[in-house]
Amino acid sequence: MRKAFIMAALAASVCLLGGCDFFRQLAGRPTSQQIAAKRVLIEQVEAAKRQREDSLKAAEALAREQRRQHIADSLALVDSLRRSTGRVVISSKRVDAGGAQLAYRYYVMIGAFSSPDNAARQAARAESAGYPATRIPFKNGFTAVGICPTNSLTEAYASLKKVSRESFCPADAWIINNE
């Protein structure tokens, strides 16, 4: 009986002193320290994942705001063009097809003249102000003078506003759309 008591006491002391980690280690299972280290690693991975998700959400929000601003700018441009009726002209029905093709889609037109000499003088005034000019023959015999060539309607409209303040620019300047 005494041996049984000693064995029970020894087993109890091993359990109390060694704790669960002793038996976990004997069974090949992770100890509490290994579990704690794994928990820290998992928390770090989850924090990094949350950080990536937050940065993706911020990038998506920025992209949505930029798209919204682009649409708002486009609508503002369209409204401005509507208010300035007759200031954007499509060239396909007016430009002489036998002449050279225009290199850009939009030009700010600063005059149309029945005399090619007058068109040349207007082109010279624009060029002396720093705006390279293009003479565009129309089917009706007129020669127009275009400056600020671009493929962007937004840029063309901004150029029209800028050029309108120049001394050589007439009040009825317009944008031609070379479709």
How many helices (H) and strands (E) are present in the chain, helices listed first?
4, 5
Task: Give dist(CA 179, CA 169) in Å, integer.
Answer: 24
Number of domains in the chain: 2
pLDDT of residue 28: 80
pLDDT confidence band for 14 (50 / 70 / 90) = low
Rg (CA), the chain: 40
Residue 118's pLDDT is what? 92
Segments forming the whole domain that contains residue 119: 88-177
> What is the arithmetic mean of pLDDT over 50-70?
87
Quick one: 162 and 109 in the same domain?
Answer: yes
DSSP 169: -
Tell me: do 50 and 109 sit in the same domain: no
Q: Is there a single domain that holds both residue 105 and residue 167?
A: yes
171 found inside a domain: yes
Per-residue pLDDT, 140? 80
What pTM does this model have?
0.50
Q: Are residues 171 and 113 in the same domain?
A: yes
Same domain for 118 and 70: no
What tens digit of pLDDT does each residue of 84-121 get? 555 555 555 555 544 557 788 889 999 888 888 999 99
Is residue 52 domain-shared with residue 24, that is, in the same domain?
yes
Is residue 164 domain-shared with residue 116, that is, in the same domain? yes
Query: Do residues 166 and 93 both lie within one domain?
Result: yes
- CA trace torsion 85, 88, 93, 97 (10° rounding): 160
- 95 lies in the same domain as 162: yes
140 and 161 housed in the same domain: yes
* Per-residue model confidence as pLDDT tens digits over 21-40: 777 777 788 888 888 899 99
